[in-house]
Amino acid sequence: MKTSTYVPTDNLMDLLLDAICVVDKCGHFVFVSAACERIFGFRADEMLGKSMIELVHPEDRSKTLQVAKEVMAGTHQPHFENRYVRKDGSIVHILWSARWSEDDQVRIAVAHDITQRNRNEALQTALYGISEAAHWAKDLPGLFLLVHQIIAELLPAINFSVALYDEHNQELSFPYPSEQQSALTADMQLNAVTLSTEVIRCGKSLLHSGLTPAQLESAVSLGTGAHSWLGVPLKSHRGTIGALLVQSDTSARYNAQDQELLQFVSTQVATTIERQQMLSRLQHMAQYDQLTQLPNRELLRDRLQTALARARRNQSQVALLFLDLDKFKQINDTLGHAAGDLLLQGVAQRIQLCLREVDTVARFGGDEFIVLLEDFESADHACTVAEKVRQRLNQPFDLNGHSRTILPSIGIALYPQHAQDEQQLLQHADNAMYQAKTDGGNRFYISPERE
């Protein structure tokens, strides 16, 4: 039986999904197969004569030249990976198999596009990383820093921003990067604000190059590049809560696949942000009085313990002012509890105006407030603050159209003069407050020295 011999046609190579590239010893393309246009975005006539290294991603050029040198020395490279910049500015990941032809003085290489494979692996890694970040991050800034590091492994980004939208107050904020960390220029900030506002408004991803298609093609062909922006919404069951924004460097352009990837990541990030916000709200509720938004009794005790430990270490003083509102019950009885709540909120605000940032005022319960003072030179400082608070509270309050004056009784206790621990200091301040109330109220009284 006669066997036939198959003779390949000239265009058989052009049917291959992988690209065949031939590069001379000077590094210029002398032959490329048809698949090159699908992988690199350039037509064959645009690649021929072009320097191979010009298409390689700038960060991969050094290692690519080193491998090229090894191939030309006779070392076969069956599994070399690097990144190329496509004609449209997007990034393609290539797995190369290359060898040197001594007779023809050329490098012959097969290029296999592994962009999707790498993308899938990167997504799995990102999901795991975000899950870990949600577990380990103690607060939102810490979470955003970890997410930034994760996204930097997925996309080329010289800037990464998180915008959060407070629907109740209709406010847009940028918790990451912080004002101190931000390296954005004024123009970049404007773009970030404009893009995030539009992303949140429409609830859809937006890809913005800032260039027309003609300008973009010209920039790429000239090698000058241009920045592009990609913004995706952060969505929860409550709606759009913010946006993630990235800005590319001039060597890469974002495309629809990058947009899809970042949108996928943003879904995980939004869930994590919402969880962190819920934990923050729960923590705030556990530590702050819901009516006045002042620290509550538990947070005050924690701060007092810290203040006393610091005072013992530095041999300094601590003062407690125990404040009670005289005849507060009459306000509730005559004007109602809503007016009483309004009065407590007003008292809290006025006391805060009398204090420094290092001082603490807490609602101890009912109509009782505690002021914690640190970092002062003389015990007279506590008396000065008490008198300032008394005078401020002596001014009338407007309670839903009713003008009322509330008078305070204030007790003062000092560490180490009056007590050595937290409970004793509170007790001495409380006793001094009752002495002030017994003497007619609207005054402050200092606890007597220990015997």
Residue 2 lies in a domain: no
Range of the domain at 197: 117-286
- Would you say residue 5 has pLDDT above 80? no
Range in 228-237, 379-388, 410-419, 423-432 the model is least confident about = 228-237
303 and 340 in a common domain: yes
What pLDDT, on the 0 to 100 scale, is given for residue 225?
46
305 and 199 in a common domain: no
Using alpha carbons, select from 24, 25, 30 the residue that is nearest to residue 44: 30
- CB neighbours (10 Å) of residue 295? 21
Residue 6 lies in a domain: no
Residue 5 lies in a domain: no
The mean pLDDT of 396-417, rounded to a whole number, is: 92
**Which one of 258, 286, 314 terminates a domain?**
286
The CA–CA distances, whole Å, from 439 to 323, 325, 413, 432 equal 15, 14, 18, 11
Residue 303 lies in a domain: yes
Using alpha carbons, select from 377, 392, 220 the residue that is nearest to residue 314: 377
**Which one of 286, 315, 343 terminates a domain?**
286
The mean pLDDT of 387-415, rounded to a whole number, is: 93
Residue 394 lies in a domain: yes
Residue 208 lies in a domain: yes
329 and 421 in a common domain: yes
- Would you say residue 241 has pLDDT above 60? yes
Q: Distance (Å, rounded) from C-alpha 134 to C-alpha 131? A: 5
The mean pLDDT of 196-202, rounded to a whole number, is: 89
Residue 408 lies in a domain: yes
- Would you say residue 223 has pLDDT above 90? no
Q: Which pLDDT band, with edges at 50, 70 and 90, does 227 fall under?
A: low
422 and 279 in a common domain: no
Phi-psi region of 106 (alpha: psi -120 to 50; beta: other; left: phi over 0): beta
Q: Compute CA 310 distance to the chain's CA centroid, rounded to the nearest angstrom.
A: 32
Write 333-336 long-range contacts (CB < 8 A, 24+): 335/399, 335/400, 335/402, 335/404
- Which residue did the predictor score with more confidence, 192 or 106? 106
Q: Are 43 and 28 in contact (CB under 8 A)?
A: no
Here the tokens at position 331 are: 């306000």
Residue with tokens 């003083």: 317
Q: Distance (Å, rounded) from C-alpha 233 to C-alpha 216? A: 25
269 and 131 in a common domain: yes
Amino acid occupying residue 205:
S
Percent of the chain past pLDDT 90, that is, above it, reads 50
- Would you say residue 251 has pLDDT above 70? no
Amino acid occupying residue 133:
A
Instruction: Give me the number of domains the chain comprises.
Output: 3
150 and 103 in a common domain: no
Q: Distance (Å, rounded) from C-alpha 444 to C-alpha 215? A: 75
DSSP-derived secondary structure for 70-121: HHHTT--EEEEEEEEE-TTS-EEEEEEEEEEETTTTEEEEEEEE-HHHHHHH
| Residue 172, strand partner residues | 165
Do the bridges between strand 77-85 and strand 402-404 make them parallel or antiparallel, or are there none, so unpaired?
Answer: unpaired
| Residue 261, strand partner residues | none
CATH number of the CATH domain containing 90: 3.30.450.20
- Which residue did the predictor score with more confidence, 174 or 351? 351
- CB neighbours (10 Å) of residue 284? 12
- Which residue did the predictor score with more confidence, 346 or 285? 346
Please, what's the largest Cα pairwise distance for the chain? 127
133 and 80 in a common domain: no
269 and 413 in a common domain: no
- Would you say residue 181 has pLDDT above 70? no
122 and 108 in a common domain: no
Using alpha carbons, select from 214, 246, 242 the residue that is nearest to residue 230: 246
- Averaging pLDDT over each range in 61-70, 163-172, 374-383, which range is the top one? 61-70
- Would you say residue 151 has pLDDT above 90? no
Residue 22 lies in a domain: yes
Q: Are 447 and 429 in contact (CB under 8 A)?
A: yes
**Which one of 223, 258, 286 terminates a domain?**
286
For the chain, how many residues are written?
Answer: 451
Q: Distance (Å, rounded) from C-alpha 398 to C-alpha 342? A: 9
| Residue 95, strand partner residues | 81, 112
- Which residue did the predictor score with more confidence, 397 or 278? 397
Q: Which pLDDT band, with edges at 50, 70 and 90, does 72 fall under?
A: very high
Using alpha carbons, select from 270, 283, 287 the residue that is nearest to residue 134: 270
122 and 107 in a common domain: no
**pLDDT one-digit tens code per residue, 286-298:** 889 999 999 999 9
CATH number of the CATH domain containing 237: 3.30.450.40
**Cα distance from N-terminal residue to C-terminal residue, the chain:** 124
CATH number of the CATH domain containing 326: 3.30.70.270
137 and 103 in a common domain: no
349 and 409 in a common domain: yes
